[in-house]
């Protein structure tokens, strides 16, 4: 294994900054203690947390994170996991793990089954569990939601949830398990970023109802009030003293790491906001003097531009190890075991040889609802994924997820006991076998494709391609002023390539979409008996391409669409901001010399290309067809007029 240069000792605040951090953290701690019995908790918490936030931001330019303190005496004899180079160590020896996400915090059944779930994880040979130490509910939330939150409204903390977390840490330690604690959730499950945004003043409808898009999550990263509320929770968790063991969380080596938030992500246009938030949040957490590791909790990437965002986050000095989530068969980019290997390779290459840090699969999974996936047994996918991770020297992997059985089967569930246990026993056997392998033969990078010399060059395709009919469209009809008209359905393309790509034929609007840079190509035959047109018109209904229907879009989120015939550019159109409907775009070409270049050949079949460079605006292209919500409106189509 090619190691990064010299070992990176545990990072701490520079000595000159400690008094400031200590005093501010002390102010927050005192405010929280007083707040526990006073009705004016919100102002105190917000005042203290906001003071730390503003002080931290004031020093952001002058402090590059943290001073370096060797602390070899500290490192030599304790039970905390450290980072050296691109790997984990325990008391100076290399350390790796296989583990599991566990559903043991939210809901009566989950809490009651906590010890049984941990027993199953231990019995399968796994050594780390990932747990969501989060939950934010509105002050008027129903009882079922209030009982399993950590916070009700901005000002009331739920001690029973913290007490259950105490029990979990004690139970995990008794079983030899380490714990990764996740401190927030991007999604609306149990509150998450949407609830913080609502407390921060956001007024969007249905903010908590569905997925928070990348565009909307950027509002969280730029929300100072959200930061203050989030940091109050972080301080309360990290600063807690376990009521059963008497050990402060910050001093408990049972806690392997703190994860800032589950599945962080942002649109490429908001990369700077994401990086700033992760940097400042990790710096704040470290100011609380916790000795555990810190990870970002980034979801990972599919597109080239998202890959750059992921790498930018993992390179942050305050982040101790790189992490990503992997559901390869849902990505649309993995259909074979060979493609799965490339999927794994690319992430390990960036973590170990570019960011120079350990790499952990924070979540990975393949559906357990079916026994066969894409023609292979589901166990074959788990086996191949873990085998390639071992071959590449992955430092840790956490399967999603061990969960008590109930009447609602979950797509990636692994059942430790009860009626569902037999249904996923085959997968658990695979996990147990790999756990034995990782103990007997620890993963070491053996893959010759991975190296410092390769750098950021991708090891997997970053574009998606679709191929359609090669038969050229030729149904020209008479049109105005002696011209002829050819109408092509948007989905009847010959070829499509984008960073992410799809065809949607269902309500509300049928469309072809491509995100990032790429192109659509349509083949057509020139009208019979005609050579070079004196007028050529291209018309279609389109928009840029953003997540969902563009919620959170800005006026600058347009797309520049270059129109070409073959390799001859005819002009550029501006696709408006994605609103799920689009607008008609039209390019009129009557330049005789340009038309001669495009059509003055012996060819009778031509290729119309709609090409997008994602260098500015939102990028991407959405070409609309049938509008199911407005059947009276003419269907969208790609129109060519020739005269």
User: What pLDDT does residue 205 have?
Assistant: 65
Distance CA 42, CA 328 (A): 43
From residue 612, alpha-carbon distances to 494, 572, 606, 618, 622 in Å are 17, 10, 19, 10, 11
Distance CA 481, CA 22 (A): 80
DSSP 329: G
Burial class (CB in 10 A: 0-12, 13-18, 19+), 159: exposed
Per 3-state DSSP, what percentage of the chain is helix, strand, and coil (rounded to 5)?
Answer: 35, 25, 40
User: What pLDDT does residue 209 have?
Assistant: 60
Q: Which of 353, 365, 343 is nearest to 322 (CA)?
A: 353
Distance CA 167, CA 170 (A): 5
From start to end of 276-430, where are the E strands?
A: 293-295, 322-326, 359-364, 372-373, 376-377, 396-402
Q: Which of 243, 317, 237, 222 is nearest to 279 (CA)?
A: 317
Spatial CB neighbours of 480, under 8 Å, sequence gap ≥ 6: none
Token pair 């004690």 in the structure block, residue: 170
What string of H, E and C letters represents the secondary structure of 477-516? EECHHHCEEEEECCCCCCEEEEEEEEEECCCCEEEEEEEE
Distance CA 394, CA 20 (A): 38
* Cis? peptide before 508, omega within 30° of 0: yes
Token pair 């894409």 in the structure block, residue: 374
3-state secondary structure of 379: helix
DSSP 333: S
Regions of the chain with pLDDT less than 70: 1-77, 205-206, 208-211, 407-408, 630-634
Spatial CB neighbours of 640, under 8 Å, sequence gap ≥ 6: 485, 486, 488, 524, 536, 537, 538, 539, 608
User: What pLDDT does residue 210 have?
Assistant: 60
Token pair 């009860």 in the structure block, residue: 418
Token pair 């992955």 in the structure block, residue: 394
Spatial CB neighbours of 442, under 8 Å, sequence gap ≥ 6: 94, 96
- Could you give the domains of the chain? 11-440 (3.20.20.80), 464-642 (2.60.120.260)
Classify the C-alpha dihedral 238-239-244-245 as positive or negative: positive
Are the beta carbons of 25 and 211 closer than 8 angstroms?
no
Task: Pull the structure tokens for residue 599.
Answer: 């059509």
Are the beta carbons of 257 and 180 closer than 8 angstroms?
yes
Are the beta carbons of 395 and 87 closer than 8 angstroms?
yes
User: What pLDDT does residue 572 have?
Assistant: 97
Spatial CB neighbours of 37, under 8 Å, sequence gap ≥ 6: none
Distance CA 86, CA 96 (A): 12
Distance CA 545, CA 517 (A): 10
Are the beta carbons of 179 and 128 closer than 8 angstroms?
yes
User: What pLDDT does residue 143 have?
Assistant: 86
Sort strands 322-326 and 359-364 into parallel, antiparallel or unpaired: parallel
- Which residue intervals of 351-421 are DSSP H helices? 378-392
From start to end of 155-260, where are the E strands?
A: 156-157, 178-182, 255-259
Are the beta carbons of 584 and 541 closer than 8 angstroms?
yes
């Amino acid at each position: 294994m090619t190691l990064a240069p010299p070992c990176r000792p545990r990072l701490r605040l520079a000595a000159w900054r400690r008094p400031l951090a200590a005093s501010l953290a002390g102010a927050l701690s005192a405010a929280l203690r007083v707040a526990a019995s006073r009705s004016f908790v919100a102002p105190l918490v917000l005042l203290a947390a906001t003071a730390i936030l503003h002080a931290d931001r004031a020093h952001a330019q002058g402090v590059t994170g943290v001073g370096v303190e060797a602390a070899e005496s500290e490192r030599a004899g304790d039970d905390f996991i450290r980072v050296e180079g691109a790997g984990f160590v325990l008391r100076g020896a290399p350390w790796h793990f296989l583990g599991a996400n566990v559903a043991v915090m939210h809901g009566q059944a989950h809490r009651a089954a906590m010890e049984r779930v941990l027993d199953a994880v231990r019995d399968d040979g796994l050594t780390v569990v990932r747990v969501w130490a989060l939950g934010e509910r509105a002050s008027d939330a129903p009882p079922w939601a209030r009982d399993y939150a950590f916070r009700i409204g901005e000002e009331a903390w739920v001690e029973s949830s913290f007490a259950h977390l105490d029990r979990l840490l004690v139970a995990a330690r008794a079983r030899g398990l380490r714990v990764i604690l996740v401190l927030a959730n991007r999604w609306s499950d149990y509150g998450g970023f949407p609830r913080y945004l609502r407390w921060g003043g956001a007024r969007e409808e249905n903010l908590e109802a569905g997925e928070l898009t990348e565009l909307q999550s950027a509002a969280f990263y730029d929300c100072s009030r959200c930061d203050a509320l989030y940091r109050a929770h972080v301080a309360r968790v990290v600063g807690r003293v376990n009521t059963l063991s008497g050990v402060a969380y910050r001093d408990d080596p049972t806690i392997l790491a703190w994860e800032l938030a589950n599945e962080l992500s942002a649109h490429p246009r908001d990369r700077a906001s994401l990086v700033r938030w992760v940097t400042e949040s990790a710096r704040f957490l470290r100011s609380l003097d916790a000795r555990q590791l810190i990870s970002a909790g980034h979801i990972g990437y599919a597109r080239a531009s998202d890959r750059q965002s992921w790498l930018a986050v993992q390179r942050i000095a305050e982040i101790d190890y790189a992490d990503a989530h992997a559901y390869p068969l849902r990505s649309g980019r993995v259909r074979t075991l060979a493609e799965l290997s490339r999927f794994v390779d690319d992430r390990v290459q960036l973590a170990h040889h570019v960011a120079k840090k350990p790499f952990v699969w924070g979540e990975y999974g393949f559906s357990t609802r079916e026994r066969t996936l894409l023609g292979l047994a589901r166990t074959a996918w788990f086996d191949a994924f873990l085998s390639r991770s071992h071959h590449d020297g992955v430092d840790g992997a956490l399967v999603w997820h061990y969960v008590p059985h109930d009447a609602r089967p979950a797509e990636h569930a692994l059942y430790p006991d009860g009626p569902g246990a037999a249904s996923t026993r085959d997968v658990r056997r695979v996990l147990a076998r790999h756990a034995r392998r990782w103990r007997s033969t620890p993963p070491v990078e053996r893959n010759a494709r991975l190296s410092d010399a390769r750098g950021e060059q991708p090891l997997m395709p970053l574009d998606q391609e679709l191929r359609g009919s090669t038969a050229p469209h030729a149904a020209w009809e008479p049109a105005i002023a002696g011209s002829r008209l050819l109408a092509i359905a948007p989905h009847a393309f010959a070829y499509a390539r984008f960073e992410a790509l799809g065809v949607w034929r269902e309500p509300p609007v049928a469309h072809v979409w491509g995100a990032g840079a790429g192109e659509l190509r349509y083949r057509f035959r020139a009208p019979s008996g005609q050579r070079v047109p004196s007028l050529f018109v291209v018309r279609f209904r389109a928009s840029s391409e953003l997540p969902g229907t563009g919620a959170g879009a800005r006026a600058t989120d347009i797309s520049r669409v270059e129109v070409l015939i073959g390799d001859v550019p005819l002009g550029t159109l501006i696709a408006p901001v994605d609103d799920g409907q689009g607008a008609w775009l039209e390019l009129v070409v009557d330049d005789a010399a340009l038309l001669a270049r495009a059509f003055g050949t012996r060819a009778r079949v031509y290729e119309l290309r709609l090409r997008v460079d994602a260098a500015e605006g939102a990028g991407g292209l959405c070409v609309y067809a049938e509008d199911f919500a407005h059947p009276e409106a003419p269907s969208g189509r790609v129109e060519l007029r020739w005269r």
